[in-house]
Each structure stands twice: as C-alpha cells, then as structure tokens.
Structure 1
Amino acid sequence: MPTLRAPLVAALATTLCVLGAASPSDEPAPSATLTALARLVTDGGAPAAALLAEDRSGTRYRTAGAALGRDDHFRAGSITKSFVATVVLQLAAEGSLRLDDTVERYLPGLVRGHGNDGRHLTLRSLLSHTSGLFNYTAETTGPVPLSPGQAVRIALAHSPGPLGTYAYSNTNYVLLGLIIRSVTGRTYAAEAERRIIVPLHLTGTSFPGARTTLPEPHGRGYTSGGRDVTELDPRRAGASGELISTLADLDRFYAALLGGALLPWAQRRELLDTSATRGVYALGIYPERLACGLTVWGHNGHITGSYVRAATTSDGRHTAVFRLDTDAVGDPSLELALLDAEFCPAPTRAPGPVGRTGPPVP
C-alpha cells in the first residue's frame, strides 16, 4: 500500500517523532522496541503510533509521533473476527452447534447461486477462510452494503473460489454473525458482550452498530492520503470488522483467549488449528513466526482511519498491541520488526522485504 505522504505527516515525521512518557507504574520498554515503534512514523509514514505490551516484568506503554492517549478508543477492524470466532467456539463447547455443520443447517437457502452452495460449506470453512466465498468488501461498484443481507448478496453475485483453499474473505464472518443469531436468538454483538466483554471487564470495547462517532476519549483517524475519517458508518464492516476498543482491552482479551480463560481445552486446540490453511490462518486468529523462531498469535485490524495489530505468545503471558491513527502500515517489514523487537531477545531483522506467515492486511 502507498506510504502516507500528506504534508501533515511529513511534518510529523521530521519534528514529532518523540517517544511518549510512561506512567509511573510502567516498566521501561526495551530500546529496540522504542526504535521500531518510532520507525512506523519516520519511515512508515503514520502520523502516530502507540504500543501497549505486558509480560512478567510489567506493563509498557509508549507512543511515537503525534500524541495518542493511552485510554483512547479506536476502530479495531478485523480484530472483530477474533471475538466472533470465540463466541462460535464457545457455542461449540456448549453443544449448540458443531464446526463441521453446514451453513445450510443454520441459514437454509441463503447461500445459493452462481456456484455458491451453503450445503457444501461448513462453519469451520467460514472460520478459517477456506469457503471460497467472494470477499464482498472487494466489490467497489454498486451501493455500499449497510446490512448483512446486502453484504451476502454482493458476495453471492460472484462465483466462488476453490473450496478448501485459503482466501481471506470478510463474507465468512458476516455469515458467522448471522449463524450466531440463528443459534442463540441474539446478535453477535449481544453474545460477544455477554460472553466476553462483560466477564473480562472490557469497559472500552463496544460494537457501535450505526453509531458513526467514537466514545470519548479518542484521537483522530486519517486515510493514507491524510484525510480525516474519524467519523464513519461501521455497518459495512459488521461482524467482520465493526469493533471499537482500547489497547488495554485488546491486551486483556488476547491474554485471556490464549491463556485459556475463554475456551475449554478442546476448543482452544481448535482455535490454534492451522491445518486447513497450511499454517497461514487458524480460527479467528493467525500465527506469525518471528525472526528468533518464536510464534506469536493474534490478528490485525484494518478499517478506514485505523490500523491495529495484536500479538500474544501461545500461553497468553506476553502480549503486545500496537495501533496507528491511519489505515495502513506503509512498510509491512516495519510491523514485523516491531514484533521481533518486542518478543525476541536477539537482534531484530533489518527492515526490508520479508516473508510472513499471517494473512495480508484485509
């Protein structure tokens, strides 16, 4: 994606790449992590970046570029998928559904046409992005979908890709949101609040629905061209990406998810199963193998005006969440360098072309 080069950003990159001060209870962040965070501004072109990390040594919060508040609310994009997948896996643990059930069982007659057939698709294929369903957000013509039904109709107007082959598609999670409602009688947002947000005390996390504003406090959000897009209608993203959250809430959520607090053992094993995608994507989260050989788990979130990435060790004991107030990482190698710096004791990889095990920015 193009690097953000608006005049405001150019000025920030040269004059405001100052690392934010930590609160008195915070532990000092490793210098390599601070340097890597700053490069997301100076080299990546983001107006500002912020990181919250926690491990046995304590909690670390730092910012680079323009001021970002530690408690700011922001749009978390596709991190919504981790919440939706967790609800589905909890329902599976309770026996309310099975991952190998067909989509047709819960949404009879909905997925049909142009070679699409819900009788041949399983819930597991939706969770792992192996259904072959067209990604409705890739459709740039016609009306913008504001309901799940509209999003599904856009997707079904296209022939599917090969079943069983990994292809990231937001349509999969829109359908999972509908399936949650079919099974429980409540929306995915209501179920996520009841099962995740309230039990974990995620007081800064919400599903906005039609609300176009962010809760206070919050900063601004910018497109890659520098346009202010802080206010937007998130209904187009729906169950695939409407979530609003904070760094601390996402840190707590992924620590609980990977640490086993949200899922029984059998479903946690399903959560981490990447066999259907040959190691690329599991069920609502994906692995990233770092330069030192450590694999971390989490997800990224990309929505107009915001980019966020969460990464957690497999035991949930070391978490890191960073965000930008723009919708793209100018250079993906900078993102990986930051994760290397935070999680790996050895020197990090130099920025430049690198391979990755996770999916591209959705």
Structure 2
Amino acid sequence: MPTPRTLLALPVSLAFLCLSTAASQAGPAPDTNALVRLLVTQGKAPAAALLAHASTGVATAPTGTDHPRAGTDDARAGTDDARAGSDYALGTTEYTQAGTGISRADHFRAGSITKTFIATVILQLAAEHRLSLSDTVERHLPGLVHGAGNDGRALTLRSLLTHTSGLYDFTAVTGGTVPVTPTQAVRMAVTHPPADRGRFSYSNTNYVLLGLVIRQVTGDSYATEAERRIIAPLRLTGTSFPGSRTTLPSPHGRAYAADGSDVTDLDPRVAGAAGELVTTLADLDRFYSALLGGQLLPPRRLREMLDTRTAHGSYGMGLFPVKLPCGTTVWGHNGRISGSYVRTAATVDGRHVLTFRVNTGEIADPGLEPALLAAEFCPRTS
C-alpha cells in the first residue's frame, strides 16, 4: 500500500495532494513563528504566511437533519476571525508571515484542498438520498469509464472519494499544465490500465469524475452547488471556483515556479474539480472548522468522511489524518498547484485549526511541515 510519503513522487508542477507524515521530535516543539520564517530561509519559498485559530467558545450543536444549513445569522461576515457560527469569534487567532509580497487577505490557489469541498457536496447529496456512495460510476455516468481494463460498472462513488478506484491520474499525462475538459481528463486516464482496485492510489481523476456526478445528479455544476451549499452559507467571501478565469481576484500577491518564473496567471482547467479552488487563509480556517464542527454534514455522514478503513488508514473522503509525535491526530488536506502550496489542519472537533501557505509549489525542506503542525498542536514541554 502506498504510504503518504510515496505520494511525494507525484508530478511537481501539479501534484495536488502531497501527504507527509510527522517526524519524531525530541524535546519541546519549536515556535510556529520561527518555523514560518524557516519556510522562507530553509524551505526556499519567496514568502510564507500562517493563520491559526483556537476556539474557546461552545461549539454549535451538530445537525442531525438530512439537509443541514451551515452557518447562523449572527456570524460576523467579512472579518478574518469570524466564522459562520457564534463560537468562532470566541478564541485566539494568530497570524504570522515571512518574506515579502504576501499578506493576510490575499487570494491564492488552493489546489487539492478543492477535494474537501467536492467530497462535502457529495456527502450532502447522500444525506439527501439523491445518491448513494454504493452507486456505481456507470449508473451516473454511463459509458464514460471504460477501456484498458477500466470499468465504471465495477467502481463505486465511495471508491472515488477514498482514492481506491485504481483509476490513472490524468495529470501524469498533462503534467498539470494543459487545460482540459472533465471528459478529456477522464478519457486520458482510461487509456491506461488501472492500479489494483481497493488499494489506496491517489488520482486526481477520481474527483474530476465526482464533479461530473454532481452535475448529473443536481443539474448544476460542482461550482454552483459548492457556492450554494458551502461558500454562501459560511460567508466565505474570498472563496471561488474561477472556471477558466486565469487571473486571481484582488487582493493577491505573486506566485512563482521553482525556477523563479512568475506563474500568477493560470488556467484553472488544468485542475478542474480536483484542484480549481481560489480562497484565503481565513476562509479555509473557517471552512474546516465548520465542517469538523458538524455544521455542514449530519453526524453519520461526517463519521463516514473521517473513516479511513477503506483506504487502509491513508485517507478518508476529502480529508486525511496525521498523527503527531505527541499523539494528537489532526485532520485536513493540502494542495499543490503551480505557484502555490497550501496546508490546512485541524483537531477533529474543528476547535483548533491552522492554514499555512507559501507562494511557490515546493518547500525545499519537507521536514518543516510536520514540525510546524507539531509546534501548533502539541502542548509545549518545559
């Protein structure tokens, strides 16, 4: 079974998911501010930023309905420290940045963090009995997945959500640099034999297919459904699905490739439902806090999202766990797209969450990410 570290071999230019395990550390965890600075000096990023929030309020009670409404009318929209829910403002918020040309309010590309939004919409549709996770891909997208040993009749929506379908990753063909339609992406993938079904094998093709399923079931695009079900209710005012728009909304900084070239402008169709999202630090903190706090899914569906048994411990549904050296497990996702690397992690109740980003696709020292998570989530020792 591929380990999270194995996934680091995905194409550098658009490896939307790059899971890393926390390295063991002796002694007290270093300070997060110092580690953010190291993302620039040691990680070789032009600039880096982190926004973390720890709630001390009483969490909003999870909904048990089949169509939960995210957010409440007393949310403080438009502020970095607000959450759609009365408890988000009750806590401490920390912002740190290093390097130049990056700011707290910047919009940036979030890569594979898009997958958490897509998985949430699919699970909401399941809660509404509009689809079942046991449905075959063929049922919703007849005739699309076939050839070279691929068979949509043998694949379920659950296998797409958990990356256990075996489908080939279309970005291995495009290098993550060629804009394609969802159908083109799938057709590229199914010209290659699948990996073993039932084993965890990360593939962006899975979430492109889930985006198509959302349209087939609802009649609307995944972007429209995510806007209606997640972005608008949570008042994520800096979050959008840009479609084919190559520019970032204002304000934004610049994004750089590993060779230093400016890659701020990018056609998001290189990623589609696997990595199209544009967002902000505050919006990602708010989203993951609301999701894990039970505001977007009924308890049963949230438990399914966090269940990693299908993927043998590597992945849930649009989320993955990392166990830190102190024993704490954090949940979240990361994303890498040309000019941007982003990571969000949170405690399982959503009460403590952080998002950090760099304005390039690579961090030269891979040990900095697990060290930063440990510094934020592990208690200090004297």
Report the TM-score range of the alignment, normalised by the length of the smaller protein.
0.7 to 0.9
Letter in 2 for 1:254: Y
CA contact (8 A) 2:257 2:360 kept: yes
Question: Secondary structure at the residue paired with 2:52?
Answer: strand
Deviation at residue 347 of structure 1 after TM alignment: 5.6
Q: What is the 5 A alignment of 1:128-147? A: 128-140=162-174, 144-147=178-181
Task: Please tell me the root mean square deviation across aligned C-alpha atoms, in Å.
Answer: 1.7
Find the counterpart in structure 2 of residue 99 from structure 1. Answer: 133
Q: Distance in 1 between matches of 2:176 and 2:49?
A: 36
- Render the CA deviation track for 1:225-255: whole Å, top value 9, x for unaligned: 1110000101120000000000000000000
Secondary structure of the residue aligned to 1:311 is strand
Mapping of residues 35-54 of structure 1, within 5 Å: 35-54=34-53
Equivalent position amino acid for 1:51 in 2:
L
Which has the higher mean CA deviation after the structures are superposed, 63-72 or 181-190? 63-72
Matching residue of 1:34: 33
Q: Does 1:264 align with 2:322?
A: no
Match of 1:26 in 2: none
Give the aligned residue type for 2:32: T
2:357 aligned partner, one-letter code: R
Q: 1:325 aligns with which of 317, 341, 359?
A: 359
Alpha-carbon shift at residue 67 of structure 1 (Å)? 3.6
Matched residue, 1:114: 148
Find the partner of 2:345 among 268, 287, 311: 311
Q: CA deviation at 1:39?
A: 1.0
Which position in structure 2 is the counterpart of 1:200? 234
- Please name the residue that 2:215 is paired with: 181
Q: TM-score, normalised by structure 1?
A: 0.86
Matched to 2:181, the amino acid is S
2:110 is paired with a residue of what secondary structure?
strand
* Deviation of 1:127 (Å): 0.3
Amino acid in the other structure paired with 2:290: A
Question: Residues 341 and 347 of structure 1 are in contact (CA less than 8 Å); yes or no, is this contact kept in structure 2?
Answer: no
Asked if the contact 2:177/2:270 (under 8 Å) is kept, the reply is no
TM value normalised by structure 2:
0.82
Q: % of aligned pairs identical? A: 64
Identify the residue that residue 66 of structure 2 maps to in structure 1. Answer: none
- 1:124 aligns with 158
Instruction: Report the Cα distance in structure 1 between the residues aligned to 2:138 and 2:354, rounded to whole angstroms.
Output: 38
SS at match of 2:246: coil
Deviates more, 1:36-45 or 1:113-122: 36-45
Conserved in 1, the CA contact under 8 Å of 2:101 and 2:254? Answer: no
Query: Structure 1: how far apart are the matches of 2:288 and 2:365?
Result: 25
Determine the structure 1 residue equivalent to 2:376. 342
1:355 aligned partner:
none
Determine if contact 1:208/1:243 at 8 Å carries over to the other structure.
Answer: yes
CA contact (8 A) 1:145 1:151 kept: no
CA 1:219–1:103 in structure 2 vs 1: closer, same or farther (change >3 Å)? same
Distance, in Å, in 2 between the alignment partners of 1:246 and 1:268 is 24
| Structure 1 contact 52–59 (Cα < 8 Å) conserved | yes
Alignment of 1:162-311 (within 5 A): 162-311=196-345
Change (3 A) 1:114 1:144: same
- With over 3 angstroms needed to count, the CA separation of the structure-2 counterparts of 1:233 and 1:347, relative to structure 1, is farther
Q: CA deviation at 1:277?
A: 1.4
Using the TM superposition, name which of 90-99 and 32-41 deviates more. Answer: 32-41
Partner in structure 2 of residue 65 of structure 1: 99
Give the Å deviation of 1:144: 2.8
The runs of 5 or more residues in structure 2 that have no matched partner are 1-7, 10-28, 57-90
Structure 1 outlier segments of 4+, above 2 Å: 140-145
| Cα distance between partner residues in 2 of 1:171 and 1:259 | 29
* Offset of residue 143 of structure 1: 9.3
Deviates more, 1:31-40 or 1:109-118: 31-40
Structure 2 CA distance for aligned equivalents of residues 64 and 141 of structure 1? 30
Number of residue pairs matched by the alignment: 321
